[in-house]
Amino acid sequence: MSGLLRTGAEGAPDDVPSTTTVVPPAFPGAVAPLAWPGTEPLEALLTVLGDASDAPAEVRSLATLPVLASRGPGTDRVGRTAALLDGLPVELGPHGWRLTDHEGSDVERARAAWREDLDALAIASVGWSGELVVEAVGPWSLAASLWLARGDRALSDAGAVSDLGAALAESLARHVRDVVRQTPGAHVTVLLAEPLVGQVVAGVIPTFSGHARLRAVPRPRVLEVLEPVVAAMHAARARVVVHVGTAVGGVAPAVLAGADGVGLDVGPWDERRWETIATAVERGVELWQGLPPARVSSCTGPDVAGLAALVSDPWRRVGLPVGDLTRVVLHETLGEVRVDPVPPVPRSTDDARTSARNLRRAALLLAERAAG
C-alpha cells in the first residue's frame, strides 16, 4: 500500500502530513437522507430524529437537518447556502444564483425557510441527543455555482472567491451555533458539499458562454480558501466532513484543511483511488461513503449485503484492516451541486425512510465484519 496521498493527474502534492486528530469511533455509521420530500420541516424532523433513535446500538445513526427542496426557490443547495452569507447580497437570476448589489426577494424566502427549520428543530429535538448533520455547499463549489453580478462565475474572480470563503466561514459558524442553541443535545457535523472541487482544480468548469473553460486553480490556493472554513466550524464545536463527490483529487486538500472526514461517492474499483482513501483513513480521517440505492429483488428484498460489499471488498483489497471499518459512515450519494435550481426528483417519505433503514442495515454488517 502506498504511504502517500496520491491525487492523480491533477498535480496534488504527494506527501500530505497528518493534520487531523480524530478519536476512532466505536462503530460504523449511517446518515439519514439529506434530501427529504414534502414541505413540512417539523414532520420531517420528527421522522428523522425518531428513526435515528431506533437504530441498532452497534451503528452510529446520524440524523440530519433535512433539505426540503420542494418548498421552492431558496431551498436548493446553492440558494440555502448563499442565503446564509453576510455582506454578500445574492438574487436568483435566469441562469441561477448570482452576487448582486441588492438582495432579491428569493433570499428572504430562503432565510424564512431556514427559520422554519430551526423552529421545527427546537420542537422536534426536545429530550433528544445524538449526532446531527447539517449540509452546506463548500467555498469552491459555491464559487463555481454563483454568478457575478456582471460577468462570469464567481470562480473567475480571485477576490470574489476570497470574499465568499471568508463570508462562508463566519456565517456558517454562526448558523452552527444557532443549531446548537436550538438543540443542546446535538453533536453537529457540518457536511461541506464540494463535488465541483475536482473540476475546479482540473480547469474544466465552463465559462458563461460554454465555449471556453475557466483557468485551473492551484491546489495550494484551494487549501488557502478551504482551511479557514474548516477551522471556523471547529471553533463552533462542530466536526467537519468535506465531500468531494467522485473526485479523489479533492481528498488531499480536505485532509490538509483539517477535516474530520472526507466524503466520496462510490465508484468502480480503482487502485490509486483506494490507496488515497487508505492513506487518509490511516491518518485518522473518516471515510463517508456515498452509496446508490440498494438493488431490490422481488424474492429477497433489498440487497443490503451488496451495499456493504461496495465498501468492504475494496477495503480488504487495498489492505486496510477490517477493524478500521469503524471509520466508515454510509450515506446516500451526494450527487451534483447544480448551477441552475432544478425541481427535486419526486420521492415519498417511505422511500426516504427505506433508504435510511437500508444504510443502517449495511452499516450493521460492516460492524459485524469489523468485530470479526
For residue 318, pLDDT over 90 is answered with: yes
pLDDT of residue 131: 96
What b/e readout covers 180-203, taking b as 16+ CB neighbours within 10 angstroms?
Answer: bebbeebebbbbbbbbbbbbbbbe
The reply to whether 267 falls in a domain is yes
> What number is the average pLDDT over the span 133-144?
96
Please state the φ and ψ torsions of residue 175, each to the nearest 5 degrees. -65, -40
For residue 300, pLDDT over 90 is answered with: no
| Cα–Cα dist 264/287, whole Å | 8
* Higher-pLDDT residue of 26, 137: 137
The reply to whether 1 falls in a domain is no
For residue 19, pLDDT over 70 is answered with: no
Provide the CATH number for the domain around residue 300: 3.20.20.210
The reply to whether 3 falls in a domain is no
Q: Which residue has 451495499 as its cell numbers?
A: 307
Range with the poorest average pLDDT among 107-111, 239-243, 257-261, 333-337: 333-337
The reply to whether 69 falls in a domain is yes
Q: Which of 148, 155, 243, 161 is nearest to 206 (CA)?
A: 155
Please state the φ and ψ torsions of residue 39, each to the nearest 5 degrees. -130, 5
| Cα–Cα dist 253/242, whole Å | 9
- How many other C-beta atoms are found inside a 10 Å radius of the C-beta of residue 320? 22
The reply to whether 321 falls in a domain is yes
Residues 6 or more apart whose CB falls under 8 angstroms from that of 28 comprise 59, 60, 325, 326, 327, 328, 329, 330, 363, 364, 366, 367, 370
For residue 291, pLDDT over 90 is answered with: yes
Provide DSSP, 134-172: EEEE-HHHHHHHPBPTTSSBGGG-HHHHHHHHHHHHHHH
For residue 360, pLDDT over 80 is answered with: yes
For residue 306, pLDDT over 90 is answered with: yes
List pLDDT tens digits, range 164-210: 999 999 999 999 999 999 999 999 999 999 999 999 999 999 998 88
For residue 56, pLDDT over 60 is answered with: yes
% of the chain residues with pLDDT over 70: 91
**Number of compact structural domains in the chain:** 1
pLDDT of residue 150: 83
Element (H, E) at 278: helix 271-282
Name the amino acid, one letter, at 82.
Answer: A
Task: Give the range of the structural domain holding residue 280, as residue numbers without chain letter.
Answer: 8-371
List pLDDT tens digits, range 236-272: 999 999 999 998 989 999 999 999 999 999 988 999 9
The reply to whether 360 falls in a domain is yes
322 within 8 A of 312, measured Cβ to Cβ: yes
pLDDT of residue 159: 97
Q: What is the pTM of this model?
A: 0.91
The reply to whether 212 falls in a domain is yes
The reply to whether 185 falls in a domain is yes
Q: Which of 86, 161, 171 is nearest to 134 (CA)?
A: 171
Mean pLDDT of the chain: 89
pLDDT of residue 265: 94
What is the separation of C-alpha 204 from the centre of its chain, rounded to a whole number of angstroms? 22
pLDDT of residue 25: 60
Name the amino acid, one letter, at 137.
Answer: V
> What number is the average pLDDT over the span 54-59?
90
